[in-house]
Each structure stands twice: as C-alpha cells, then as structure tokens.
Amino acid sequence: MNFNFPISSFSQGSPLPETQSFDQRKTVKTSQDFNFPRTLRELIDKKYFLVFFIFGCLVLVFVFAFLTWTKCGTRSRRTGRRTRTRQNNNTEVDQQLLQIKPRKRELVSLLNADELGYDQNYELNPRHLEMGRKLGEGQYGFVNQARLKNRIDVAVKKARLPIDPDQQKMIIDEIKIMCAIKFHPNVLALVGAVTAENPKGAMIISEYAENGSLLDFLRKIKVQSTFSDLLVYEGTPPQKTGTFSKSPGLSNDLSCISTVDLISFAYQIANGMVYLANIPVGR
C-alpha cells in the first residue's frame, strides 16, 4: 500500500509549530513579553492619577469648608454682639416703661372711673364771657376768642354738639386733666371752666395766644420777617425793658427773628415737656 501524500498540502497556510523556526518563535515571544509590561505600566499610571485627582478634590473641599465655617463664625459673632446690644437696649427701655406705665394706668383708671377730681375754684359763670371770633375747629369741637368781664382775653373751647353726652364727657375729662396739671409758665394754663348746667354745654377757658400756634407763627414770620443770626454770650450785659431782658442789638419787634428767639422757643418747649413728663397724667 502506497501512503504517499503531497507535501504541498502542508506548505499552504501557516506552518505548524513543529515546522516553525527558532527565530520565528523567539520573535513572537519577545513581542508578547514586551506588550504585557507596557499595559501594566499604563494601569499603574492611571491608578496614581486617579488617586492624586481624588486627593486634590478632597483638599479643595476641605479648604472651601474651612473658609465657609470661618466666615459663618465671624458673622455669627457679629450677630451675637448685635443681638446682645439690642437686648440690653430693650431691657433698659422695658425698665423705663415699667417705671412709667403703672402711673399712667392708675390715673387713666381713675379718669375712666370718674374719680379724677375737679377743682371747683375754676368754675366760672358763662355770663361773664363775651364771645368773639372763631379761632379754630376740630372734629368734635371748636375754639372761640372771648373776653372776661375783667378785660382778660381768653380762648374758649366747647363741644360741637352740646347735647351729645360723649362729646360733653370728653370736654369734662380734659378739664379734669388740666386741673391736675396745675400752672406752669411753659404750659397753656387753665383760666377757668364751665361745668354746671349750660345750654351751650361744658367749656374750657384757657390762656389766649394772640400769635396762634408756634408752627403757624414760624410759617408767617418766615415770609414776613427777616432772620438775624445773633447770640447772647456769657458776660453780655442785659438791657432791661419792663420785665424782659434782651441782648444789645435785639428788638421785641416781630419783623426780625434771631437765633436767640429760636433757642428760647426750643428751651421753653423742652421745659414744658419735662414738667408734663413728671406729672402722672396720661397724655
């Protein structure tokens, strides 16, 4: 039996491992050994890069958190100081209110209970009044100029509706409060009152200010008068004019208003307010 096979069938395609040369096998092995370490090195490099990247992110987060905490702490301390200051101020104000409120509550309760007294020495006969022109009016009443029989100019305030009991009570309460205030040179004084039965109702008779309110007076002299910037210094010799003293160069003429007049207005207002603040009457 003949087993002759053609050799050309083995020579086609890739050679068998047994038929490969030593140089070919060495080249393939060397190529495989060279690719493996390079892949491992790339993996190591990527690993270190990832570690450094994560570490850097953590550092940035830590720095940002530290700065935020520092800023919030500073703001909290400032807010705390402001809050403590505000609380201290409120405490002082509350203590002052606690000292004032009991007096006002007591007098208001007396007034509401009709226990605030009226001094009968202020009672006047309405027949002794000569009513004059109207000076002003409000929602519940109006004020007239009048003259007593002893030739004293006064202002008379009365309710708009004499038959309205609420308006009459308001007038009576105001009379009682003015009686409690007593007399002070910088507070509008009560001259008298009419509380007995009267067809025109109760009346408040007070001082008459011929120049009106201070606001209207200042508005009028702003247009009609001139301003003189003059002051009285310590050591300036006064000049007597009746019961009034004035500095040299100043005049009682209302056509000229000076700094001295403005300071005098402010002083009289403050003096009157201090007096009213010391009286236990609700205002």
Beta bridge partners of 228: 258
In 3-state terms the chain splits into helix, strand, coil percentages (rounded to 5) of 50, 15, 30
Mean pLDDT computed over 147-173: 88
Strands 141-148 and 153-159: antiparallel
- The reply to whether 158 sits in an annotated binding site is yes
Higher pLDDT, 275 or 228: 275
pLDDT at 221: 80
pLDDT at 65: 86
Strands 244-246 and 239-241: antiparallel
- The lowest-confidence range among 52-66, 113-127, 176-190, 229-243 is 229-243
Buried b (16+ CB within 10 A) or exposed e, 254-280: eebbbebbeeeeeeeeeeeeeeeeebe
The answer on pLDDT for 35 being more than 90 is no
Q: Percent of the chain scored above 70 by pLDDT?
A: 57
The answer on pLDDT for 149 being more than 50 is yes
Mean pLDDT computed over 150-177: 88
The answer on pLDDT for 175 being more than 50 is yes
Mean pLDDT computed over 236-240: 56
The answer on pLDDT for 10 being more than 50 is no
The answer on pLDDT for 172 being more than 80 is yes
The answer on pLDDT for 73 being more than 90 is no
pTM of the predicted model as reported, rounded to 2 decimal places: 0.52
Give the integer Cα–Cα distance in Å for 174 and 161: 16
Report CA dihedral (91, 95, 97, 103) to the nearest 10 degrees: 170
